[in-house]
Structure 1
């Protein structure tokens, strides 16, 4: 995580807690694409928050990345949903 850029939480604070409409739109679309990709692989992130979204570095400053998959779980195997259970 030290090799990535600033988190959205930190950037939001650096911008006096205000993002422009264009920034919010761009970030929102990128995050939706990332989540769609993760879900297409049958995985739920389960810990989405500004601290777990970071910007890239070295030419990827405009890309958003999701980090910290410690709570992530598979919800599908192939095309079949995993059965619900109360405990992990």
Structure 2
């Protein structure tokens, strides 16, 4: 939890985390996100509003990130030291 907080603090400070973000946030999870989506879809269907859903797999997204730009962004938003090293280790 310490690592998540070290990453989240600068992101919150710079208003980079949307209120719609559920992963890696306190008291939120992928399950809470699914509940929100389910309720939204159910409400729309109850009111006769058509729904389109687009699912995107971002698993390969990190293959396309410029490491130099990522390092720059991490530093600009105050993510340094161990938190920065751990974030970059994901790309190895």
Bigger fraction of residues in strand: 1
Instruction: Name the structure where helix makes up a greater proportion of residues.
Output: 2
Larger CA Rg, structure 1 vs 2: 2
TM-score by length of 2: 0.29
**TM-score normalized by structure 1?**
0.30
